[in-house]
Structure 1
Amino acid sequence: TGQLQNLTFHTNITCSRDNVLKTVVFPVLYSCLFLLGLSLNGVAVCVFFRIPSKSHFIIYLKNIVVADVIMTFTFPFKVLSDSNMASTGLRIFVCRVSSVLFYLTMYISILFFGLISIDRCRKTLKPFRGTNAARLARRKVLSGAIWTFLLVLCLPNVILTRKTPTSSYFKCSDLKTAAGLYWHEVVNHVCQVIFWGNLVTVIVCYTLITKELYRSYSRTKAQRKINANVFLVLAVFFVCFVPFHFARVPYTMSQTRGVLFDCKLKLFFFQLKESTLFLSSLNSLLDPLIYFFLCKSFRTTLFKTLQLPPGSCSRLTGRGSDTDTGTKYQTPYGSLSHNT
């Protein structure tokens, strides 16, 4: 019996989630991310509040700003929970509400990244097609539908996470009812469909953009250097979202079908999920780069707010640029964004 107790104790210590990575490293990283993200997204909110929604691009960016602000405010709760500084009640709140909001805003961003890619592609292939009030109204309705759909999808995760923890050492999955575990797995599958669908969309759109830009440069004999700003959306999407979605499927299975995984394997998938989840969190910090480099309206309004001359960052955005991508010359096919 003593040997069995020692073995159980050793196993619990070995497989405990409360290691340095979870309780120290990630809380410090998320604390820094919160401070930086709050500052940058606070500026973004102030700037976008002054920009009228007169293009599809601006509408999509405003939705991403809102999602990033909400995501940023979930970080302090995660810091307190992971560092074991939170009370049992606060940890339950993290499982029921804060974590749900985090994932909600992540998939809001993923969907609008897909829409932005489609918009950039459309502006490249049909640069002279304008917009009107009816199209803008439809984009606003679409934005509202996306928020409503994901809120309805995520709400059962809040309602069905209602079990009372039997001890102070519990995981979020321990609070879910049987229906809650099942719905959690359903939501995971739906979110995977959302991600992979938008991944394909982003890849296809930027492949078409690249081909059209190359044709344009070849025809005009203009400078052949493609400004890297054009591919910021693609880069942020791949850095932030792709690794997590490769790690999420086995992690979710280890939660909902625990009998198939031993303790060490569960711990491995947990650490992999947390590492890639931090990359997803970086989205809230990297999105302001997209606003600055791809949106001329954002830059112009920011410079006016800070009382800086418009050419202050010409080396970064492209000298003599009159498009949101910073393309260094004007061509119908090179214009990837709005001059609004």
Structure 2
Amino acid sequence: MDQSTNNFSSLAVTKEDCHVDSEFRYTLFTVYYSIIFILGFIANSYVLWLFTRVYATKKLNEIKIFMVSLTTADLLFLITLPMWIVYYHYRGDWIMPSFLCNLAGYLFFVNTYCSVAFLGVITYNRYQAVTKPISAAQSTTRRRGIYVTIAIWVLIAGPSSYFLFGSGTTQEGHVTRCFERYDPESSNIPVLASHIVICICFFITFLIVVVCNASIIRTLLSQKPQARKSAHIRQRALYLVCTVMIVFVVCFVPHHIVDLPWTLMVLGKWDISCRSKRWWDHIHQVTLFLLGANCVLDPVIYCFLTKKTVESVPAPAEICLSSQSPLPAP
């Protein structure tokens, strides 16, 4: 993994008379990250407290384990936001110790792809609960949830440790940039390869999410609920599915559509005009703006939207979802 896998960097390169730097990002992200930090920290702290204090740890099932991990990933990124706020306030000048830049870059990457992975497995879990409720109820979900969670953290946090030990800061004139440069003396092949692998893995996950959610919607709409509570649960399940899709389409998909062309441009493998380079960099910043919203939307999806579901679970005779309802009932 190369420094270039840090997808939050900005292209601020001067080649002859072509200076590419999205100046609007400095004010935008200073304000935006301040809002995200306050809202996200409060919301995710509440969710974590809810699962670790209100609900006994021994009662955590597979879906709750995934939700706790998703919240933890969000909080790890949120604690670095004050550093990014200072960075953008000083117009892209990292005035703090360089090791903090490495830490901030590491946690940004880990949060982004742990969030994608856990949203994916949560969706698959709900797919199993809705389409195969009996087998889902009989499976040892707690142990499986622990194994899957450990695997996700190891596969993402492990390779990402490059950010902790690589060179995160570079000098550009009188300012120190944090993960905003590629080493021109090193090979660009690993850089490009890493971005290709990341994009392929993301869109495979997104495809799984789309297929699973489509099956959930089809199954729920084909049922004929016989009780008011059943109809209520089905409605909330549909809200959950739609909201998950909104988070993927709004927060993650735009960034991964733009990322590969942007990387080719930065590496000089896509020869376009200076004006086009500036345009692509502006678009890239917009996708980063959308990407940051997932820290606030995650607790909305998996806690606030469904926190009363457990009170409305119908009897097995009313609907086949019973204890494996389509909603993660905390």
- TM-score band, normalised by shorter chain: 0.7 to 0.9
1:203 to 200, 210, 214: 210
2:26 to 13, 16, 23: 23
2:225–2:318 Cα contact (<8 Å) kept:
no
1:54 to 48, 55, 60: 60
Q: 1:226 and 1:163, CA in 2 relative to 1: closer, same or farther beyond 3 A?
A: closer
User: How far does residue 177 in structure 1 lie from its aligned partner after superposition?
Assistant: 6.6
Distance 2:92 2:288 in 1: 20
| TM-score relative to the length of structure 1 | 0.76
Distance 1:35 1:143 in 2: 27
User: How far does residue 237 in structure 1 lie from its aligned partner after superposition?
Assistant: 1.8
Root-mean-square deviation (CA), in Å?
Answer: 3.4
Question: What is the DSSP-based 3-state SS (H/G/I as helix, E as strand, rest coil) of the residue aligned with 1:165?
Answer: strand
Q: 1:129 and 1:259, CA in 2 relative to 1: closer, same or farther beyond 3 A?
A: closer
The within-5 A match list for 1:308-327 is 321-322=312-313
2:99–2:164 Cα contact (<8 Å) kept:
no
Deviation string 1:163-191 (CA, Å, 9 cap, x unpaired) is 75253346534364754854443332222
Gaps of 5+ in 1: 1-7, 300-316, 324-328
One-letter amino acid of the structure 1 residue matched with residue 44 of structure 2: N
2:302–2:328 Cα contact (<8 Å) kept:
no
Of residues 226-235 and 145-154 in structure 1, the stretch that sits farther from structure 2 once superposed is 226-235
Number of the residue aligned with 1:84: 90
Q: 1:192 and 1:164, CA in 2 relative to 1: closer, same or farther beyond 3 A?
A: closer
Distance 1:174 1:195 in 2: 24
Higher Cα radius of gyration: 1
2:239 to 229, 234, 242: 229
The within-5 A match list for 1:173-192 is 173-174=180-181, 176=183, 178-179=185-186, 182-192=189-199
Structure (1/2) with the larger strand percentage: 2
Q: 1:61 and 1:195, CA in 2 relative to 1: closer, same or farther beyond 3 A?
A: same
Question: What is the DSSP-based 3-state SS (H/G/I as helix, E as strand, rest coil) of the residue aligned with 1:129?
Answer: helix
User: How far does residue 93 in structure 1 lie from its aligned partner after superposition?
Assistant: 4.9
Distance 1:242 1:139 in 2: 26
Distance 1:42 1:29 in 2: 19
One-letter amino acid of the structure 2 residue matched with residue 215 of structure 1: S
2:65–2:145 Cα contact (<8 Å) kept:
yes
Number of the residue aligned with 1:41: 44
Deviation string 1:121-169 (CA, Å, 9 cap, x unpaired) is 1011122335579542232122112111112322234434267525334
Distance 1:91 1:253 in 2: 30
Structure with more contact order per residue of length (Cα contacts < 8 Å, sep ≥ 6): 2
1:282 to 262, 282, 293: 293
Gaps of 5+ in 2: 1-13
User: How far does residue 85 in structure 1 lie from its aligned partner after superposition?
Assistant: 5.8
Number of the residue aligned with 2:9: none
Q: 1:239 and 1:175, CA in 2 relative to 1: closer, same or farther beyond 3 A?
A: closer
Question: What is the DSSP-based 3-state SS (H/G/I as helix, E as strand, rest coil) of the residue aligned with 2:312?
Answer: coil
Number of the residue aligned with 2:72: 66
2:263 to 213, 229, 252: 252
Question: What is the DSSP-based 3-state SS (H/G/I as helix, E as strand, rest coil) of the residue aligned with 2:320?
Answer: coil
Structure (1/2) with the larger helix percentage: 1
What percentage of aligned pairs have identical amino acids? 23
